[in-house]
Amino acid sequence: MKLLRLPLLLVVLMEITAISARGTLTCLNRPSPCFLKKVRCPTQCPDPKPVNPKSKGCFLDCNSPKCETICRGRRPSCNGIGAGCFDPRFIGGDGIVFYFHGRKDEHFALVSSPELQINARFIGLRPAGRNRDFTWIQALGILFGSHALTVEATRARRWDDGVDHFKFSLDDEQFFVPEGHLSLWKSPDRKFAVERTARRNSVAVSIDGIGEVAVSAVPVDEEDDRVHKYGRPSDDSFAHLEVQFRFSVALPPRVEGVLGRTYQPNFENRAKAGVAMPVLGGEDKYRTSSLLSADCEHCLFSS
């Protein structure tokens, strides 16, 4: 893999669909009911991108008819809509929690529309006596236009919070985002941006005109291993990704994927309510041949 040497801009990235001006946000996408309206940020979070990585930022949902700003963390919220965390536990666009197990060392389409494809690579293990794998999301592959971007959690024998565990590539060329909160990389055509939302191990991946993916690299720690009886080996921390998709424009009605289907206007979620682990299947429908392929049975993407 070649190393992509591009200028690295250490500046604050403006929202793809909203711009800020001293405590206000404005939506720039014309279909938005908030188009060009200046909406003041709450006093508790006046800055969309606060200097303190632990502080919440000001956020304006350009799809909401309310045109109200709220305070929101910039890292993934595993209890928020569009999240995918743990042994993958998702919260769909309909707000319903479900699990999708998949299989270790395989790839699945999370979101697939005619203009956007987001795949995940699963890692995992299967202790003796179990009939399925424990799985986690190890990497994302994003196809948009003619570009392909990847975000991966690198393998770590022992987890170290003082080390960055991300690897990035654009069109098969590796690139780097310097460590440091708010440091930023942009693709040459500005279709993608990757901004750190902590000194290391948390980023926001912005897709022009679509939205962003909040991503954190985390381990399966000893407590998780003990509680869930994963049987994690001592020489692998199973570094993986926690993700949350935050779409700044409504996804098209014709959308598929493990998560994408839950954004369909008439989607009927068949995950059983009231059970400890409501499972929503679809492995055969959404399996792809690689991280950057759109060849699943129900994939819709066409570059």
pLDDT of 292 strictly over 90: yes
**pLDDT classification of 21: cutoffs 50, 70, 90:** low
**Residue ranges of the domains in the chain?**
14-73, 76-288
Question: Exposed (0-12), middle (13-18) or buried (19+): which is 38, by Cβ within 10 Å?
Answer: middle
Answer yes or no: are the C-beta atoms of 159 and 132 closer than 8 Å. Answer: no
Nearest of 264, 267, 248, 286 to residue 118 by alpha carbon = 286
Report the DSSP beta bridge partners of residue 70. 59
107 Cβ contact list (under 8 Å, min separation 6): 119, 120, 121, 122, 141, 287, 288, 289, 290, 291, 293
pLDDT of 5 strictly over 60: no
Residue 249, token pair as written in the block:
């424009």
Q: Hey, is 286 helix, strand or coil? A: helix
As a whole number, the mean pLDDT across the chain is 91
Instruction: Record the pTM.
Output: 0.90
**pLDDT classification of 70: cutoffs 50, 70, 90:** very high
Q: How far is CA 150 from CA 127, 140, 147, 191, 265, in A?
A: 29, 6, 10, 14, 29
Q: Hey, is 284 helix, strand or coil? A: helix
| Mean predicted confidence (pLDDT) in 244-256 | 92
Give the pLDDT confidence of 144-161 residue by residue, as tens digits. Answer: 999 999 999 999 999 999
**pLDDT classification of 11: cutoffs 50, 70, 90:** very low
H helix or E strand, kind and range, residue 222: helix 222-228
Other CB atoms within 10 Å distance of the CB of residue 247: 20
Residue 79, token pair as written in the block:
């209890």
* Cα pseudo-dihedral 243, 248, 253, 258, rounded to 10: 0
Distance between CA atoms of 92 and 99, rounded to whole angstroms?
A: 10
Other CB atoms within 10 Å distance of the CB of residue 103: 15
Sheet with 83-85: strands ordered across: 8-9, 184-186, 192-196, 202-207, 211-218, 240-247, 83-85, 89-91, 97-99
Confidence (pLDDT) at 93: 96
pLDDT of 259 strictly over 70: yes
Confidence (pLDDT) at 248: 81
